Amino acid sequence: MPQTIKLALLDDYQKVAMRLGDWDRLKKRGIEIMVFHEPFSSVDDAVQKLAPFQILGLLRERTAFPRALIEKLPNLKFMVLTGARAASLDDKAATERGIPISTTPGGGSNAPTAELGWALLMMCARDLAKAERLARQGKWHDGIEQMVVLEGKRLGILGLGKLGSRAAHYGKAFGMDVVAWSQNLTPEKAEAGGARYVSKDELLATSDFVSIHLALSDRTRGLIGAADLAKMKKTAILVNTSRGPIVDEAALIAALKNRTIMHAGLDVYDKEPMSADHPFTKLDNITLIPHLGYVVEESYRHFYDGTIKDIEAWLDGKPINLLNPEVLNKKPA
């Protein structure tokens, strides 16, 4: 192990990492810390900038770590993933190189993401993003066309896990009729989660609001495509705070352009950060926010405290919270 160990903290877009973590604990042990505030432009860019580092601190899924990147980082010895999993990280490639990956589980409440999702739904219902822009221009009510009340409307929830159940609770509090569907959902589970089970087709065809709360997997990738959007009401609003690829992006753009559905609200995208010239930015019936679901101070403090503890344990030769425990039986490459 080199005399000076270098740690790279990635994707600190808001420049809060050093303020919200007690990094002196690592500095006292000889760790040299560098923070990256901007995303990498390509795998080659990431390779060039990360090559000197032995430890990488990943902030959720902001930077993908495919095999092509992991195999080209000659000094990499340890990775910390904030959160409990990341579909964009090739843990098998890391294991083959003998690189342990620790996580920061037990993040506490999922309230930040659930609250953000509900706030986005309410913004879409009254098109508050447009209303705010018009008010700044002195246009008052001029141009405000979308006026939808929640009470009495149907909320269709795709995915009734912890986040979906919170959405169901919020919907009922607003006097909505709440229905739900997912591949594994049963009528009994739906009732326990605060909703009524319906088929996917019925949910899409009858819901005034469709809110997505599913993990991204092979089964859910592209789950909502052109045919599904065509089944929805022309007055329907689609909200996605889960993962971008669950909804076919091209199909959604076409549906919004053609007014197949009335509005969409997104916190997640196929590629993040979303480019300033993305087709979504040219549409007037979509509300866009920059993946803020978990972005609150409490979450960051948990992530960075967990990162520090994981690194301390690794330095002590006793790594914890391993995503790939089988790596302990493999010699480093």
Q: Whole-angstrom Cα distance, residue 82 to residue 300?
A: 9
Binning the chain into helix, strand and coil, the percentages to the nearest 5 are 35, 15, 45
Which is catalytic among the residues 272, 298, 301, 312? 272
Which is catalytic among the residues 60, 62, 166, 243? 243
Asked if residues 63 and 39 have their Cβ atoms less than 8 Å apart, the reply is yes
Q: Whole-angstrom Cα distance, residue 280 to residue 257?
A: 10
Catalytic residue flag (residue 243)? yes
Nearest CA to 237 among 197, 269, 285, 270?
285
Q: Whole-angstrom Cα distance, residue 39 to residue 42?
A: 9
> How is residue 39 written in tokens?
């995303």
Which is catalytic among the residues 62, 166, 213, 291? 291
Catalytic residue flag (residue 302)? no
Catalytic residue flag (residue 96)? no
Task: Indicate the Cα dihedral angle 125, 126, 128, 130, nearest 10°.
Answer: 100
Catalytic center residues: 243, 272, 291
